Amino acid sequence: MNNDIKFNLQKIQDRIALACKKSGRSSDTVQLLLATKTVSADRIQAALQSGHQIIAENKVQELKEKYDALKHIPHSNHFIGHLQSNKVKELIKYGVSCVHSIDRFEVAEKLDQRLALAGKDIDVLVQVNTSDEESKFGIAPEEAEQLIRQISKLEHLHIKGLMTIGLFSSSEEKVRACFKRLRKVQTEIKDLKIANVEMTELSMGMSGDLEIAIEEGATIIRVGTAVFGQRATPDSDYWNEHKKQF
Ligand X SMILES: *Cc1c(COP(=O)(O)O)cnc(C)c1O
* Binding positions for ligand X, rule: CB under 6 A: 35, 37, 58, 80, 165, 206-208, 222-226, 235, 238
Contact 214, 30 (CB under 8 A): yes
CB of 29 to ligand X, least distance (A): 19
Select 185 or 227, whichever has its Cβ closest to ligand X: 227
CB of 101 to ligand X, least distance (A): 7
Select 45 or 58, whichever has its Cβ closest to ligand X: 58
Task: Give the CA count within 13 Å in the CB-facing half-sphere of 185.
Answer: 28
Select 45 or 164, whichever has its Cβ closest to ligand X: 164
Select 141 or 224, whichever has its Cβ closest to ligand X: 224
CB of 239 to ligand X, least distance (A): 6
Closest residue to bound ligand X by CB? 224
CB of 82 to ligand X, least distance (A): 9
Select 19 or 223, whichever has its Cβ closest to ligand X: 223
CB of 118 to ligand X, least distance (A): 25
